[in-house]
Structures are given as structure tokens and as C-alpha cells.
Structure 1
Amino acid sequence: MSNNRVPAGDPYRDYRFLERVSNRDEPLWSALVVSKGSRRPSTGFYVLARRLRHEYAAFDDHQAWEAEQRRCYDAARAS
């Protein structure tokens, strides 16, 4: 059986890549990608979420993550 896990990268580089492919109107689908160890997104997710969603500035990390997960699930149900 092959190991298909993607190795963790540099969070700064990863969030910069995600910023280029993300758009303000779409959910941040990276909210659904979590670390096996922490079961949470990388720190880059939170940086990007707050850059693109100014309303998350007042949220703690968990609140921002849950809000963006809801956006993903809502968008998936709507399509």
C-alpha cells in the first residue's frame, strides 16, 4: 500500500499559494484540510482567512475555522 500523504510544507509559502488561487466570493476550501496530528488547519489557513475575510478579525481561530467550514458546506449543498 502506498503512502499518499502530502508532507507539511512551509506555512507562509502554502498560504501565499492558496491566496493566489482563492477568491473572495468562494469559500476557502482549505478549511476542510486538516493535519492528521492536530486535526486542525495549518497556521497559514488562519492568516489567509483573516486576509480575505475581514469579519474574521474579531474571531478566535476556532470560530474562524468553523465559520469557513460552514461556508464550504453551504456552497457544496447549493451546487
Structure 2
Amino acid sequence: MKVNVKYFGQVAEAAGKTEEKLELEKGASLKEFKLKQIKQYQIPDPDSVQIAVNQDLVDDKELTEGDEIAFLPPFAGG
């Protein structure tokens, strides 16, 4: 199945790109995919990286064909 992955901020800098299309196995979990991408791109501070699937922040779910997965850097607030 194909998914569209977007990277923002320091995550995009670590990946060296802002977007890519990837082929994943059917039934892939978001949690496993996140760990794979963090290891592959050596993303700094992985515990603070949040993931949105189809613009909803989630911790884990089964990914499906056409999902948009966004790797979001830590948010600053005040």
C-alpha cells in the first residue's frame, strides 16, 4: 500500500526532505513505522516527535492505503 509522508522542522532537516511517497506492507502499524523512520533518518529527540495521520494526532493505528503521515517537531508554547 502507498502512503504519503511529510516531514516538518527539525525532522525534515534530519530526513533531508519534506515529503516522500512510500510503499508499506498492508496492515503496517504507525508505531512501527515511526520507529523505522526515526532510526533511518536519525531524527533527534524522537520522544518529542508527534505524528498526525490524515491531520489527526495519534499514537498508534493501523495504516491504510493513501494515508497522509506527518512527522511533527516538538511544539513550543507559552
Query: TM-score normalised to the size of structure 1?
Result: 0.29
Whose helix fraction is larger, Structure 1's or Structure 2's? 1
> Highest Rg: 1 or 2?
1
Query: TM-score normalised to the size of structure 2?
Result: 0.29
Whose strand fraction is larger, Structure 1's or Structure 2's? 2
